Amino acid sequence: MTRRERKQSESRRRTGCWTCKEKHIQCTEEWPVCSRCERLGVRCVRGLKLLWREDAAQRGIHFGREGTWSKRPTAKPRTKIGIDHEFDPVPLDQYIGRWLFLNTTYWDFGESDGEEIAKCSLEQLEEIAQSVNGVVRSSPCRPLGHPLVHYCPVESFLLDYFIRGIAPFCSLSTECNPYLSLVTPLALNYQQPHKPLRNTLLAIAANQLQLLGNHTYEREAFVFKQKALHGLQNEINNRKPSAGTVATVLMLCFHDITDGCTPSWTTHLRGGLRLMAMLPHQMCESEALKKFFVMYFVAHDIMGRTGAEDSSEMGQEDHSWLEDDDLEEIDVLMGCSRGLMTLINKISALASKKSKVMKTRQISPQEVSTFNAARNAIEAELRVLRQKLPSYAPLQEELLRIAETKRLAAILYLRERLGSPAGLCYFYPLEKFSRHHKHDPEHQYNNRGNPSLGNQVTTSGAVETSPSGFKARIISMIISLIDTLPDSPTLLWPLFIVGNVGLDDEQHRRFVLDRLTSIQKTRNLGSVRRARMVVENAYRAKDIDFPRGKVWGDNEPGVISLA
């Protein structure tokens, strides 16, 4: 018989689990558990057995053929010793997702086919991960040191997409982004992860891909949201609210706004406000997390009410900021100060109250005087409102332009909902505004003071104009400011306000629709789609002189998120 014919059979393999090796049985090598170990219910381990030369010499074990074949007559007899039953192999699964330190030098990475070997290894890892998790379609694989590698390929891809493709665009500052610094660590905490919050982030990522035309993860968008709702319901039923619970409700609100801005987002918003009231102070991990919760829920409630004539369907909520909040500081999530949002809320509340009275009866002269005094006080505060940059973003002039845009939009919103004061209006030079338009003589004046609002005296340089002229100048200023800013959802509210004030200028109309379309193309948010539809309907209604049922805002059910 030739040497080729005496070749070992296929059963003599050097791979396989240690359980099968000890019994001298060919291992079928399924991953992570072979069929024999799975059938017997034993642990399937593929560890490394390290045998030191000194220990082998003491136990009479030889390396390879050492001592078993020799030309010398004094060769030692072969000692037959089986595998040591005291050997405890180290399972490799505990090292997944952790950094490993290897004692290597650059000589170990010489000029070889290292790239092909690495590529082959990554492909093998991907096949193994797919077989373990039952994933049929391929997903981007991660190196073993990646923090998301211990998740299945689908979850790893979606979480990475949320972290790098969604969260960075939700803040106007790279220095402060609560979605990355607060929400994500809360969901992916290594020691105590919050599973409902993690499932919500997965649903948001899958749904965002679907909105952008990638339907690969359409099923996962529904599955993960259902898991998040089920986990949240269990926490609420067990009366164990935590910061993770509030964050889950917040991100579910985020999901519904991006998906289609359905009425469910207001349900989650009200639930989040109530959960915050129930949450003990010591349950909130940090003051920054609490500030983020208050800002998100209160700001979305305030700005959402501006999109409807009667916001009573959102319920009545008492809005209050934290005691140490700086009302003049511009928030990087909302693009304006808390003081401005407080005044916007006063406008909406006063307009809703006036609208309810007018639906049932005629307003009495005393009520007219009361309403006018209240609106004049609000406009006087808006004209002298100061908004300053936060300490962590002192050089972001873009934030100042966004905040000024929203302040001017608030004045326009006030006049559209509560009317203009009697008499003429005046524009006064304003330094903080002129530095954005110092080369544009058309916009060198800003609205600063009205004789009917603050008993102020007309000074030289003031421009006297009618209410319609005042409105036209405000609109021109807002459009000029927006024209200098990049496409961002934070501009949705000013564009919505300008689009609903009955524009006659075709260029202004085209500008508003073009910017809404550009913003929609970035992420295809449901709130932007709804706002654009409302603006288009407002243009059509004005062109055909159609008497709308509502004087202001959206006629469709539900409330648009405009924050």
Task: Give me the phi and psi of 151, to 5 degrees please.
Answer: -90, 160
Q: Are 255 and 204 in contact (CB under 8 A)?
A: yes
Higher-scoring residue by pLDDT: 62, 155: 155
The predicted model gives 234-238 an average pLDDT of: 88
**What is the mean predicted confidence (pLDDT) over 227-243?**
88
Digit-coded pLDDT (tens) for 490-508: 999 999 999 998 888 889 9
Q: What distance in Å separates the CA atoms of residue 233 and residue 235, rounded to the nearest whole number?
A: 5
Contact by Cβ (8 Å): 217, 158: yes
**Contacts (Cβ under 8 Å, ≥6 apart) of 300:** 253, 257, 269, 561, 563
Confidence at residue 480, expressed as pLDDT on a 0 to 100 scale? 95
Q: Lowest-pLDDT range, 22-31, 58-67, 81-90, 195-204? A: 81-90
**Per-residue pLDDT at 551 exceeds 50:** yes
How does pLDDT run across 380-412, given as a tens digit for each residue?
999 999 999 998 877 788 999 999 999 999 999
- The per-residue pLDDT for 327 is 93
Q: What is the mean pLDDT of residues 162-187?
A: 92
Q: Is the pLDDT of residue 348 over 70?
A: yes
Q: Do residues 343 and 378 lie in contact, with contact meaning Cβ atoms separated by under 8 Å?
A: yes
The rounded mean pLDDT for the chain is 78
33-37, 435-439, 505-509: the lowest-pLDDT one: 435-439
Q: With 0-12 CB in 10 A as exposed, 13-18 as middle and 19+ as buried, what is 106?
A: exposed
Instruction: In whole angstroms, give the CA distance from residue 62 to residue 50.
Output: 14
- Return the number of other C-beta atoms located less than 10 Å from residue 264's C-beta: 16
Question: Between β-strands 336-337 and 330-331, what pairing exists: parallel, antiparallel or unpaired?
Answer: antiparallel
341 pLDDT more than 60: yes
- pLDDT tens for 209-234 read 999 999 999 999 999 999 999 999 99
| pLDDT tens digit sequence for 104-117 | 554 554 444 444 43
Query: What is the structure's pLDDT at 436?
Result: 42
Per-residue pLDDT at 429 exceeds 60: no
463-465/425-427 β-pairing: antiparallel
SS (H, E, C) 218-232: HHHHHHHHHHHHHHH
Burial class (CB in 10 A: 0-12, 13-18, 19+), 196: buried
Neighbour count for residue 131 (Cβ, 10 Å) = 12
Asked whether the predicted pLDDT for residue 67 surpasses 50, the reply is yes
Given a cut of 50, whether residue 84 has pLDDT beyond it is no
Q: Which residues pair with 427 in a beta bridge?
A: 463
| Backbone φ, ψ for residue 505 (5° rounding) | -75, 120
Residue 145 predicted with pLDDT over 80: no
pLDDT digits (tens, 9 = 90+) for 285-316: 678 898 999 999 999 999 999 988 766 656 66
Q: What is the per-residue pLDDT for 30?
A: 86
What is the average pLDDT across 405-434?
A: 74
Q: Provide the 3-class DSSP secondary structure of residue 119.
A: helix
The region of weakest confidence among 201-210, 320-329, 336-345 is: 320-329
Mean pLDDT is lowest, of 162-171, 254-263, 281-290, 357-366, for 281-290
pLDDT at 98: 59
- Please give the C-alpha separations between residue 213 and each of 219, 225, 472, in angstroms, as whole numbers: 14, 19, 39
Structure tokens, 388: 């300053």
Instruction: Tell me the residue type at 260.
Output: G
